[in-house]
Every structure is written in structure tokens, then in C-alpha cells.
A and B are shown apart, each in its own frame.
Chain A
Amino acid sequence: MARYLLIESGGPWESGTTAGFYRLAQDLAGQGHEVTVYLVQNGVLAARAGAREVGLADVAAHARVFADDFSLRERGIAVRDLRASILPAGIEAVADMLADGVRAIWH
């Protein structure tokens, strides 16, 4: 089984392709792969507990989901306002995973 890092830079309200990217994460996890989703830029908007659910909760049920701390601060989103299943992380986490040979996909 492979390890995947899926980086989502857009919100699900910008493009329908984000929902497709969420499904890709779920499908990979469903096939037994180790999947990490890293939300960055407007991608973190869907991580808010009060945001309308558009598929991210299903992703978080099957994969690790991180929200970029810098992107959160830029948008005034406090860590306490994140969904319980989503953790804040620094961009160092991406560098670590890349250095460790993860298969990375940007969307």
C-alpha cells in the first residue's frame, strides 16, 4: 500500500472539482492506502466546524486531515473553530512527508 499526500488549496464552494478531490482521498483510503489531506489557502475554509458539510467530514473519517496554520491565521480562523477531526499543522509537515517519499498531489 502506498502513502499519499493530497493538498487541497481551494474551497469546495469555488469549484466542483474540490468535491472530486475529496472523493479521490476517500477512494484511496478505501483501497487501503495511507492518505493525508493537507488543506491550505482557501482549502482551510471547509475545515471550520460551522461550515456547511460538503464531504470533508467523510474524508476525515477515513484519512488524516490537517489545516495549514498560516492559512488559518490569514483568514482569522481559530483552532478552536475547526472540526474536531481536523488538526492544525505547519507547512513543515508537508516538507517532512515529501522528504519521506510520499506521493503528493496538488489541487
Chain B
Amino acid sequence: MATVTIGLMDPPYESANTVTGFRIIDAALRKGHHVNVFLYEGAVALGFAEQKPHANPVKGKSVEEFDHPNPKDWVHALFELAATRGVELDWVNCGLCVDERGVDKQVEGARRGSPADFWKLAEAADGLLFIPTR
């Protein structure tokens, strides 16, 4: 069992990087590894608890029919996966980035931190990957 630290920077709904990052986190958890995730800049909104699904009037779809995904649900699912597998998922938001964006209401399990925490998480990990914005 190893510890992997992943850094994400892209905000929700902006980049395929987010999907790839989530896939790597998911795979590491399924492999039985502890995973630390540090969210920086726009990525702190990934776990914002007040995200809402919406209808798509252009396609004539209701909220239920459109079934629009919210990244907060993906974050929640990762926490559930970690609990199921008996491994730790540490989801650490850059606190200043959270304040700037007013996304302080986060999914259960997410915590507030700083770039200093990222340094600590990087130092403590067996493997590190930071996925920056382009």
C-alpha cells in the first residue's frame, strides 16, 4: 500500500484534465493506495457543495432527463470509494483560493489547507503528479 499525491488546478467544466485526474485518483484508490489531493486555484470549486444540476431547454430536457453531472458528486463518490476500500483520501483545498471564489461550502471530508500542505503531502508521498492548467 502506497501513498500517492495528486495536484489539480483546473476549475469544473473547463478541461478534460479534470476527468483524467479523477480517473487516476479513482484507480489509485481501487488499487488500495492512500491518496492525497491538493486543489489549487479554480480546482477548489470541484468540491463546492452548492453546485446544482440544471435542465437543458435547448434540448428540451428536464433536470431529471438531462441528468447533468456535478463534480461535487464525483468527489463524494471518491470519498465513498476510499471508505469502502479502507484507504484514506485527503482532499485539501487551498484556503485562499476558496475565499477568493466564495466556495467555502464543501462536500463532507474536504478540508482547508495551504500550499504548505501541498509541500508536506508531496514530501510524504511515494508518487506525485501535478496536473497544471495550460
Query: B-contacting residues of A (Cβ < 8 Å)?
Result: 7, 9-10, 40-42, 68, 70, 90-92, 94-102, 104, 106
Contact = CB atoms under 8 A, between A and B. Distances in A.
B86 to A, nearest CB: 16
Q: Is the interface of B mostly helix, strand, loop or mixed?
A: mixed
- Chain B interface size band reads 20 to 34
B39 interface: no
Interface of B: 2, 4, 16-17, 20, 23-24, 27-28, 30-31, 33, 126-132, 134
B27 A95 contact: yes
Contacts of A41: 16-17, 20
A101 B126 contact: yes
Contact of B132 (A70, A96, A106): A106
A9 B128 contact: no
Given A91-B24, A98-B126, A99-B33, 19 more contacts: A40-B20, A41-B20, A42-B16, A92-B30, A94-B24, A94-B27, A94-B129, A95-B4, A95-B27, A95-B28, A95-B30, A95-B31, A98-B24, A98-B127, A99-B2, A99-B4, A100-B126, A104-B129, A106-B130
